[in-house]
Chain A
Amino acid sequence: AQTVTQSQPEMSVQEAETVTLSCTYDTSESDYYLFWYKQPPSRQMILVIRQEAYKQQNATENRFSVNFQKAAKSFSLKISDSQLGDAAMYFCAYRSIANRDDKIIFGKGTRLHILP
């Protein structure tokens, strides 16, 4: 069974600095999706970035980028120029493509604090 591990329960970063959140996963599949979701205090789950495993190029969305290392099964999220609004819980998630049920597996989350 697939698993997703986020080893940093909490992190802090100074406003305007760069921070990297770690995520590793375990799978025997070759094709899958990886996601980072943001959950601010409002509780709403917001998709930050998506990576398709067959794509070698790392996904980027404005200040958010990933470092996808398929062989190492690592999928870290880099936030550049951190802003106060980035303070949230961040979840890494894995989705199999082969499995028709299309279940998504979440890590336990990393709470990110932004220091003014």
Chain B
Amino acid sequence: NAGVTQTPKFRVLKTGQSMTLLCAQDMNHEYMYWYRQDPGMGLRLIHYSVGEGTTAKGEVPDGYNVSRLKKQNFLLGLESAAPSQTSVYFCASMIRDRTREQYFGPGTRLTVT
């Protein structure tokens, strides 16, 4: 099992460019999440999904879109990148069992210049 993987690991974008971050999990988890981590801010939820074909907004959704066309994949899109979106992005997945444990990917460091 690879667990949760994220592609790419690093990326530099110019302001206004677009990109998609891919999260994939091979654990058959229903729930998937996208977070951003900024210094002194902890992890903040961007968007999440409770199942294939469903998505919902989190705490800081502006400037991002997501799609969950397949159960194992959760895509995060930036249509027009801004310097304020410079951050480390984490994906996580979870099965809604007694443990409620989230499994995290290794993160993607994105810099927008």
Contacts and interface: CB of A to CB of B under 8 A. Distances in A.
B7 to A, nearest CB: 15
A43 B107 CA distance: 7
Nearest to B31: A102
A33 to B, nearest CB: 5
Contact of A102 (B42, B88, B94, B106): B94
Nearest to A43: B107
Nearest to B106: A44
5 contacts: A47-B102, A91-B43, A101-B50, A102-B94, A108-B40
A100 to B, nearest CB: 7
A44 B41 contact: no
Interface of A: 9, 33, 42-45, 47, 50, 91, 95, 97, 100-104, 106-109
B50 A106 contact: no
**A104, A107, A108, A109: which has the most chain B beta carbons within 10 Å?**
A104
B42 A109 contact: yes
Given A9-B40, A108-B42, A45 B100 contact: no
Interface in B54-113: 56, 58, 88, 90, 92, 94, 96, 99-102, 104, 106-107
B104 A44 contact: yes
Interface residues of A, dominant DSSP: loop
- For chain B, give the interface size range: 20 to 34
B90 A103 contact: no
Interface of B: 31, 33, 40-45, 48, 50, 56, 58, 88, 90, 92, 94, 96, 99-102, 104, 106-107
B104 A102 contact: no
B42 A103 contact: no
A45 B90 contact: yes
Contacts of B107: 43-44
A95 B104 contact: no
Nearest to A4: B42
B104 A45 contact: yes
A91 B106 contact: no
B100 A103 contact: no
B43 A102 contact: no
